[in-house]
Amino acid sequence: MTSEKKSDESNLVVDDSILSPPAQKQTLWSSFKDSFKPAIETDHTLKTNYDPVDVEKLTDLEKINLNSANSSLRRDLKARHLQMISIGSSIGTGLFVGTGTALNTGGPGAIMIAWVVTATAVFATMQGLGELATTFPISGGFNVYASRFIEPAVGFAVGWNYFMQFFVLLPLELVAAAITIQYWNSSINSDVFVIIFWLVITFITMLGVKAYGEAEFIFSTIKVLAVIGFIILGIVLIAGGGPTHEFVGGKYWRNPGPFASGFKGVASCIVTAAFSYGGTEMIGLTASETSNVRKALPRAIKQVFWRIVLFYFGSLTMISCLVPYNDKRLLGSSSVDASASAFTIAIINGGIKGLPSVINAVILISVLSVGNASVYATSRSLNSLAEQGMAPKWMGYVDRAGRPLVAIGLTNAFGLFALIAADDDAQESAFDWLLALSGLSSIFTWMSINLSHIRFRAALKAQGRTTDELPFVAQSGVLGSYYGLILNILFLIAQFWIALFPLGSDPSAYNFFLSYLGFPVILVSWIGYKIWKRNLKLYLKADEIDIDTGRANVDLELLQQQLAEEKAELAEKPFYYRVYRFWC
């Protein structure tokens, strides 16, 4: 009997190998076609508290937690991608051109105060986001955190507002790129360049998240090198090493002076600074597509500090010393006009010729980078909203290449709206109002991150858990999130004041709503979701918040052992290295 049974088992093995011949190698074309098919369900590495059989019995919030934890997005982003995304995500026209407008509005003292104050809020907010994203590397990032740690209506309002912010940004950046090209050749119809740049961005975004990471790595590297080069050049010019050999020092701080419009000028600059840092939070969207979240994401989050210190403060210091705030070239120029850039004016004042073309090229790269990033942000946000049941399910279609295909297609299709805007001045007004719908989106997003982190820590405490089980703990702690939340509320108040009583002009209902329309829009979104779901609950209690679903599936004892070994190894390093690793 035993030998017969063994023989049967042996035959079964042989038969199985015969019936399952090796799969034929796919051709390049067939592989390309198959990549557009629905994603194949795999064994996910994220914790879930729910039995698949009981999914239909779950509440809306439980489904949100479960679906966002089991996304089909691919983890193809590497540490170097995240570090460059974190460094270059908000280095764009806000820095290269927007700082010139702020300098003219507030003066050198105002821009330094504004960017320093805003930087502290951004740093604290990103630390809280780093803790959440490393612990919960789930699809959708911060809008899902708002849903699960505050309550779903907040996640709905923040998610759709964030989607709209970047959805409108793509055609705007395409128009900006076309206008930038006209600096060299204005004889060609701008629609030609809109189509060219649209095709480039569409091609990159359709290649998948790895292509996005590589493109941003290249774009950010160029922007970083340009900023570093400008800072070095600025130091030389200030010290009198330029062609004019004039020692500049701090003469423009003395005349015309440090402040152009007093406290109101500082408040106006704070509003500009808050918008210029928009995009730093995008690193939170990458968590679900990062290959080694525990090590890569905290390093990328810490890079925000270095970017703020080196790139923004270094550039602003050079500008404040090299360009007087009453320079007429700073007034009323296009948002993508290199001649209006304080960078360009500083170089021209130093007696150097030819570099405006270089600055314009960097501005062009910046707008393409923002256009590329906007497709990433909108597609991942829309995919997340669909997973949460806050958007039609078909909008969350993910193919075998890990691309949220429908969301990418919708975003790129809307990009062609740039063809209308490029030729019709009336359409600029339409663009302004579309942007106004989500004009305060970055601030609302930061506030939701602050509040989500505060509620997460409250849930840990209420459920008898500690931060010892977290792979990364925010350096600023929960107090940092309180600090960030308070500052962001003050930013909203400052924006309200400036919108109601604009600097240098009379109050206007048109300009007020253009600046502050985002607030009633997000309020209506929140109320609308409440009515739709017939749920009047304002917040989730700490003891009912789910702090397990979607967590990285790690052995806590092994994690604590690894962290202890890393700390012991770090303690043996020189002091300067320990300081470097603390911040970076």
What tens digit of pLDDT does each residue of 167-204 get? 888 888 888 788 778 778 777 777 888 899 899 999 98
Residues linked to residue 77 through DSSP beta bridges, in sequence order: 290
For the chain, count helices (H), then strands (E): 26, 0
User: What digits encode the pLDDT tens for the residues 35-73?
Assistant: 777 776 544 445 555 555 455 667 777 777 777 777 777
Tell me whether residue 16 is exposed, middle or buried, using C-beta atoms within 10 angstroms of its C-beta: 0 to 12, 13 to 18, 19 or more: exposed
| pLDDT at residue 21, as a whole number | 47
Contacts of 219 (CB under 8 A, 6+ apart): 88, 365, 366, 368, 369, 372
| pLDDT at residue 89, as a whole number | 65
Secondary structure letter of residue 552 according to DSSP: B
Of 398, 234, 247, the residue nearest 316 (C-alpha): 234
For residues 559-570, b (16+ Cβ closer than 10 Å) or e, as one string?
beeebeeeeeee
| pLDDT at residue 9, as a whole number | 40
Compute the Cα dihedral for 497, 501, 502, 508 and give only its sign: positive
Domains and CATH numbers, the chain: 69-553 (1.20.1740.10)
Number of other CB atoms surrounding residue 483 within 10 Å: 18
Q: In angstroms, rounded to a whole number, what is the distance separating the alpha carbons of residues 53 and 182?
A: 60
- The token pair that represents 127 in the structure block: 């630390």
- The token pair that represents 203 in the structure block: 């091609």
Of 227, 222, 1, 261, the residue nearest 109 (C-alpha): 261
Q: Give the CB-side neighbour count of residue 341, counting CA atoms within 13 A.
A: 27
Q: Is there a contact between 82 and 284 (Cβ–Cβ < 8 Å)?
A: no
Q: Is there a contact between 447 and 488 (Cβ–Cβ < 8 Å)?
A: yes
* Tokens 């206008």, located at residue: 179
Tell me whether residue 134 is exposed, middle or buried, using C-beta atoms within 10 angstroms of its C-beta: 0 to 12, 13 to 18, 19 or more: buried
Q: Across the 584 residues of the chain, what is the mean pLDDT of every consecutive 10-residue run? A: 43 41 61 70 50 62 77 74 71 76 90 92 92 86 89 93 87 80 77 88 87 86 88 91 85 90 89 83 79 79 75 89 88 52 84 78 84 87 88 87 87 85 57 74 92 96 89 91 95 91 84 87 93 88 88 69 78 79 72
Q: What is the amino acid identity at position 557?
A: E
Tell if the pTM clears 0.75, that is, is over it. Answer: yes
Which DSSP string do the residues of 164-188 spell out, in sequence order?
Answer: HHHHHHHHHHHHHHHHHHTTT--SS
Q: In angstroms, rounded to a whole number, what is the distance separating the alpha carbons of residues 173 and 166?
A: 10
Q: Is there a contact between 258 and 109 (Cβ–Cβ < 8 Å)?
A: yes
Q: Is there a contact between 283 and 259 (Cβ–Cβ < 8 Å)?
A: no
Phi, psi for 338 (deg, rounded to 5): -60, -30
| pLDDT at residue 24, as a whole number | 53
Of 28, 34, 33, 36, the residue nearest 399 (C-alpha): 36
- The token pair that represents 42 in the structure block: 């795999």
CA distances from 138 to 48, 209, 248, 287, 393 (A): 12, 15, 51, 7, 18
Q: Where are the beta strands (DSSP E) in 15-155?
A: none
| pLDDT at residue 52, as a whole number | 52
Residue 138 Ramachandran class (φ > 0 left, ψ -120 to 50 alpha, else beta)? beta
Q: What is the amino acid identity at position 287?
A: A
